[in-house]
Amino acid sequence: MEETEMQRWQLASRRIQEIYKDPETDGETEDYFRRTAGFICRMLESWDKVRKGWPAQASFEELKAWNKTLYEDILGSAYEHSYANPAYASAMLGVYGPLLSFVYTELRGMIVYACEQRAEEMLIYMELFLQIHGAFTGEALPTPEQLREDVYWFVSDYSDVTVTRRVREQLDPSLSFARDIIMEADLSDPCYLYRFGEYISDTELKVSRYLNSLSEEKIKRIASVFTEGYRIGFEVNQKPLHKKRTVNIRYCVGFERIIRQAVENFKAMGLKSVIYRAAVSRVNMREANKIGYYGTSPNRQYEYDHKGDAALFMDKAFVERKLGVLRTAYESYKELAYVHGGPAVMEVFGEIPFEPLAKPEALKLNKRQQEEQVTYNSRAGQITNEYIKGEERSFTIIAFPIPDIGERFEEIFAKTVEINTLDYKLYQTIQQRLIDVLDTGTKVHILGKGKNHTDLCVALKPIQDPEHETRFENCVADVNIPVGEVFTSPELTGTNGVLHVTGVFLEGLFYKDLSILFKDGMTADYTCGNYEKEEDNRRYIRENVLFHHKSLPMGEFAIGTNTMAYVMAQKYRIGARLPILIAEKMGPHFAVGDTCFSWEEDVKTCNPDGKQMIAKENERSALRKEDVSQAYFNCHTDITIPYDELKEIAVIHPDGTRTPIIKDGRFVLPGTEELNRPFDE
């Protein structure tokens, strides 16, 4: 630290220690400031422990105990009496509750800053606490509006630090905190897990232990599928991998043995791995989504309670401020952005289903703020695409189970590896049979059965040159692992009807009886059965599926062909716990939001048979040529109907005749019979 920064640090830390001993406030806020100051004192202790090298010397038991200390007030029943809980904070602090709960939640990011020795962030958050405390020690108590102003200007003014850092850590391989642990630690000793600063549960310990039981050959095979998918994605889509120098690896803590091999594989391709943590400050978060690496959530309700905290500072002026910082940051790191290839993502599945409580005390974006959030997401996407061009970047994504899935975890893991390495040539041939028939129709009709009320017609883009053009991509195992789907961008006009699923997991949240009405390809109405009040059901969907948009287009229609994955789900009864990455291959799926080709519509894409994919945009994405802000929505949520809820999928031809593809959950198109074999076996 520089001398001036050191002086500020000493003054702030000394003052916080005094407040811990004597909060100097009376009544309802005394306990809040004492406990919060005590938390910061623990963070200062954590800072000293890391600086002195304690994590490398401590025993497993000591590390585990310290990790629990960092997270104990939001674990289990302790959360009911934590100021991180907006309901408790509101009960104890009255009108100050939601705001002071936000402040405490932001201060919890110091766990990370201490672990990574990020002095600037540690210091500014200590000073935020002192500023808020000072407001309560004057002659008169502050109004909630005054405190809100303090928070607003703190977030806005320091976005130069927080947003700029976030851009850099996404691009700069010299920020190697996590990569150094992965590549240098003894991964057979679970002590290394506690060096990340994430909450470490039995899940991470069991995953790490299990991966250490696998042979080097098997680890190399798993990592190779992951990294080859990334390489092939560039190759198939004719993108310039040779121009790229970095790849971003996103994963969940515990999988380091695979990630270490992936880093080596990418290095052999000429790529340095950038591995950054999921954001811990609300200014850099997008609702409840996590982008980066992270450990098991210490409390998913806690995270859900705070996903709307941007309500304290989201307005037009802040949006302009943050966008300005974002552009300046990208300009500063434009050389790094130019050579960045995109993300390689390793997801996990098997978490215990989570249906969040809708707490009235939790902060929520109002209607105008939702519009501002949409505006920010759109313009931020445009800025990002200027510096990391869509037509030159790619990605890959794969998923593996975690022990939470049940006693048969190791069986399920082995089966998932098998599914992720299926013979793509076999599927490629069968899927081409599907595409040949789909290309002869004008619409596809999807009907549910039993309790599924789906009745939906999807309009298809016209083909002018059948010998050289196709409207469905033959998707095998490259960017999107495992193998098994054909997909298109539907025509919006003429796409009408109801999409219904009796139960589905989307981004870790469960939806019961999710129903969406489409009119000319746009969401016209929606509901679910999660809550008693219809208002809560609609808010749940609008926040977490529509991401505050008034309406979204159907960006993708696909037919999944991975019946082996479906049979695995049925055998182990884990269908509701599979990630959309696998679930989307287990029946027809429909994405609300952008198409699969956003920002790269003009890149030529061909199927293995040589035909060019022409259905890469719709009436909304085509607006990019006139007003790019109207073309993209910066979200894409897949919703799958499982085979057992399907009565029929049929191609409708220009003369009105129908060719069934699936009937009563079985493939009936000649040449696709092989897909039914897993059902029979």
Q: Are residues 118 and 206 in the same domain?
A: no
Question: Does residue 248 or residue 625 have the better pLDDT?
Answer: 248
Q: How many helices (H) and strands (E) does the chain have?
A: 24, 19
In a domain, 417, yes or no: no
Distances (CA, A) of 245 to 52, 162, 188, 224, 498: 34, 25, 30, 19, 45
Average pLDDT over residues 141-162: 96
In a domain, 365, yes or no: yes
CA distance 163 to 161: 6
Q: Are residues 340 and 238 in the same domain?
A: yes
Instruction: Read off the pLDDT of residues 579-614 as tens digits, 9 standing for 90 and up.
Output: 888 988 999 999 999 999 888 888 888 888 889 999
pLDDT confidence of residue 604: 85
pLDDT confidence of residue 114: 97
In a domain, 410, yes or no: no
Instruction: Read off the pLDDT of residues 219-247 as tens digits, 9 standing for 90 and up.
Output: 999 999 999 999 988 988 888 999 999 99
DSSP letter at 565? H
pLDDT tier, 62 (very low <50, low <70, confident <90, very high otherwise): very high
Q: Are residues 178 and 148 in the same domain?
A: no
Q: What percent of the chain has pLDDT over 90?
A: 85
Average pLDDT over residues 490-495: 97
Average pLDDT over residues 445-472: 96
Contacts 24+ apart (CB under 8 A), 85-94: 85/302, 85/305, 86/305, 86/306, 86/359, 86/361, 86/362, 86/363, 87/305, 87/359, 87/361, 87/362, 89/32, 89/361, 90/361, 92/28, 92/31, 92/32, 93/28, 93/29, 93/32, 94/28
Give the 3-state DSSP-derived string for 463-516, with helices as H, strands as E and coil as C: CCCCCCEECCEEECCCCECCCCEEEECCEEEEEEEEEEEEEEEECCEEEEEEEE
pLDDT tier, 477 (very low <50, low <70, confident <90, very high otherwise): low
CA distance 373 to 311: 10
Average pLDDT over residues 418-442: 91
Q: Are residues 153 and 173 in the same domain?
A: no
Judged against a pLDDT cut of 90, whether residue 339 lies above it is answered with yes
Place of tokens 């991998």: 241
Question: Does residue 5 or residue 17 have the better pLDDT?
Answer: 17
Instruction: Read off the pLDDT of residues 258-289 as tens digits, 9 standing for 90 and up.
Output: 999 999 999 999 999 999 999 999 999 987 68
pLDDT tier, 575 (very low <50, low <70, confident <90, very high otherwise): confident
DSSP letter at 362? S
Rounded to two decimals, what is the model's pTM? Answer: 0.89
Question: Does residue 524 or residue 481 have the better pLDDT?
Answer: 524
pLDDT confidence of residue 288: 66
Instruction: Read off the pLDDT of residues 286-311 as tens digits, 9 standing for 90 and up.
Output: 876 899 999 999 999 999 999 999 99
Closest by CA position to 71, among listed 343, 303, 318: 303
Pick from 327, 361, 396: which residue ends a domain? 396
In a domain, 162, yes or no: no
In a domain, 403, yes or no: no
Q: Are residues 603 and 517 in the same domain?
A: yes
Q: Are residues 83 and 188 in the same domain?
A: no
Q: Are residues 138 and 177 in the same domain?
A: no
Q: Are residues 281 and 377 in the same domain?
A: yes
Cβ atoms within 10 A of the Cβ of 258, count? 23
Closest by CA position to 273, among listed 347, 178, 186, 163: 178
- Which domain does 497 fall in, by range? 422-680
Instruction: Read off the pLDDT of residues 518-552 as tens digits, 9 standing for 90 and up.
Output: 999 999 999 999 999 999 999 999 999 998 999 99
Q: Are residues 174 and 147 in the same domain?
A: no
Q: Are residues 383 and 465 in the same domain?
A: no
What's the number of domains the chain is made of?
A: 3
pLDDT confidence of residue 538: 94
Q: Are residues 61 and 121 in the same domain?
A: yes
In a domain, 416, yes or no: no
Q: Are residues 189 and 114 in the same domain?
A: no
CA distance 262 to 225: 10
CA distance 83 to 102: 9
511 strand-pairing partners: 504
DSSP string, 9-74: HHHHHHHHHHHHH-----GGGHHHHHHHHHHHHHHHHHHHHHHTTHHHHS-HHHHHHHHHHHHGGG
Pick from 157, 183, 200: which residue ends a domain? 157
CA distance 558 to 640: 9
Q: How far is CA 388 from the centre of its chain?
A: 19
Place of tokens 């695979």: 258
**Helix or strand (DSSP H, E) at 397:** strand 396-401
pLDDT confidence of residue 479: 79
pLDDT confidence of residue 509: 84
In a domain, 407, yes or no: no
pLDDT confidence of residue 475: 84
In a domain, 212, yes or no: yes
CA distance 273 to 267: 8
